[in-house]
């Protein structure tokens, strides 16, 4: 019965998208065709446990592939036993470096009487947003997490917030973040990753099968205009190659020193594909008194030359291009690297930089 249903679905897809589907069926294995059906129609979900938090996750996703087998197929009855991460004065040794860095930023701000909120652009199922919310909750602080996820994983993000009892600390928005307040097309490439989607058709994959929908987009300065004043923001951006546009959309809140730090992925390949200005977002950050750092660990991937991890690069006009290539130069398969911008007005900034260096150099 199930096999017959799959055949009917494939027949319908073939009728609607005959040139694309015929090529895929001709050139791909039956497993690939089955995977396309899973993406387009079924999208099976499993409940997994990572650290002390629970996540609904699509089983045909790269996120799920990274989950240890003993953490899969959890029971909903387990939820409620605990939703806390480690106490604020402790840091698990196996915690991802990005989470350690974000929590360290919050600790630094709290130590200097600065209340902060967290914005997660490209939250996916919440693997960063939820631990940060639990961390803020356990620390007894009033901070909020604002999580943006426009893709197919947005319903899972909302469910994960509820299942971990973090509704008072996380607000989710099924919106794209960009440098305009408008509407953008969002493409999910079938047989790749449910959590990876982009407003740009990937170069060289124009003839492959996509799930496409229109989503509203917003600038972060527009979003933050009517929110709490007198607080600072720590921001993480993973926008599948559109991080530069998200940074430009920060606009006035950068100029008004409302942002303490921005952690983001810099995708040179994606920017080159759409003929975007490679240096504009970085110059924008520098013009607003932010220092730029490369977080890329030279042990991961291959770089054209070793980039000193977490070394400050002072950018002057006459040295801009040299500094730019030193900052973002990478030869990994994705043509991308991880960068961090720290507000130079932060109190005792050298103390924070020392902590971050220890995290990313370890």
Q: Domains along the chain?
A: 2-41 (no CATH), 87-361 (3.40.50)
Q: Which residues contact 67 (CB under 8 A, 6 or more apart)?
A: 48, 50, 57
8 A C-beta contact, residue 15 and residue 25: no
pLDDT higher than 50, residue 318 = no
Give residue 26's pLDDT. Answer: 46
**Sorting pLDDT into bands at 50, 70 and 90, what band is 56?**
very high
**Sorting pLDDT into bands at 50, 70 and 90, what band is 4?**
low
Tens digits of per-residue pLDDT, 167-187?
999 999 999 999 999 988 887
Name the least confident of 159-163, 199-203, 210-214.
Answer: 199-203
Q: Going edge to edge, which strands form the sheet with 176-177?
A: 176-177, 210-218, 182-189, 197-198
Q: Which residues contact 114 (CB under 8 A, 6 or more apart)?
A: 231, 232, 260, 347
Give residue 110's pLDDT. Answer: 95
Q: What number of residues does the chain have?
A: 362
Distance (Å, rounded) from C-alpha 319 to C-alpha 26? 53
Listed ranges 11-15, 94-98, 277-281; the one with the highest mean pLDDT: 277-281
Provide the β-strand partners of residue 44.
none
Tokens for 155, please give them. 């319903």
Verdict on whether the full-model pTM lies above 0.95: no
8 A C-beta contact, residue 176 and residue 240: no
Tokens for 331, please give them. 């030869």
Tens digits of per-residue pLDDT, 61-94?
778 888 888 889 888 777 755 444 444 444 444 5
pLDDT higher than 50, residue 126 = yes
Name the least confident of 36-50, 63-77, 308-322.
Answer: 308-322
Name the least confident of 2-6, 175-179, 234-238.
Answer: 2-6
pLDDT higher than 90, residue 197 = no
Which of 209, 214, 280, 227 shows the shortest CA–CA distance to 249?
280
Share of the chain above pLDDT 90, in %: 31
Distance (Å, rounded) from C-alpha 174 to C-alpha 210? 19
Tens digits of per-residue pLDDT, 135-159?
999 999 989 999 999 988 899 999 9
8 A C-beta contact, residue 29 and residue 14: no
């Amino acid at each position: 019965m199930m096999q017959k249903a799959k055949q009917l679905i494939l027949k319908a897809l073939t009728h609607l998208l005959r040139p694309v589907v015929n090529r895929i069926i001709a050139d791909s294995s039956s497993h690939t065709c089955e995977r396309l059906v899973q993406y387009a129609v079924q999208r099976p979900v499993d409940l997994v446990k990572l650290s002390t938090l629970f996540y609904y996750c699509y089983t045909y996703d790269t996120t799920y592939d990274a989950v240890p087998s003993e953490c899969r197929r959890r029971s909903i009855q387990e939820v409620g036993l605990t939703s806390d991460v480690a106490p604020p004065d402790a840091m698990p040794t196996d915690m991802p470096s990005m989470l350690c860095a974000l929590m360290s930023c919050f600790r630094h701000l709290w130590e200097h009487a600065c209340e902060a909120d967290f914005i997660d652009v490209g939250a996916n199922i919440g693997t960063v947003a939820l631990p940060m919310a639990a961390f803020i909750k356990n620390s007894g602080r009033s901070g909020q997490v604002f999580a943006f996820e426009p893709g197919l994983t947005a319903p899972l993000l909302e469910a994960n917030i509820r299942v971990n009892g973090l509704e008072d600390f996380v607000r989710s928005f099924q919106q794209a973040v960009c440098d305009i307040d408008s509407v953008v097309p969002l493409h999910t490439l079938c047989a790749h990753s449910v959590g990876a989607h982009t407003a740009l058709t990937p170069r060289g994959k124009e003839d492959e099968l996509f799930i496409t929908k229109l989503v509203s987009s917003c600038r972060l300065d527009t979003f933050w205009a009517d929110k709490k004043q007198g607080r600072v923001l720590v921001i993480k951006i993973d926008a599948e190659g559109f991080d530069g546009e998200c940074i430009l959309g920060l606009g006035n809140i950068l100029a008004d020193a409302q942002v303490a730090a921005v952690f983001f992925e810099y995708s040179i390949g994606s920017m080159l594909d759409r003929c975007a200005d490679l240096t504009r977002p970085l110059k924008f950050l520098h013009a607003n008194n932010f220092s730029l750092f490369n977080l890329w660990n030279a042990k991961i991937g291959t770089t054209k030359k070793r980039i000193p991890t977490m070394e400050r690069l002072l950018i002057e006009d006459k040295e801009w291009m040299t500094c730019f290539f030193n900052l973002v130069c990478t030869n990994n398969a994705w043509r991308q690297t991880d960068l961090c911008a720290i507000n130079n007005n932060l109190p005792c900034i050298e103390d924070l930089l020392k902590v971050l260096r220890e995290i990313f150099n370890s």
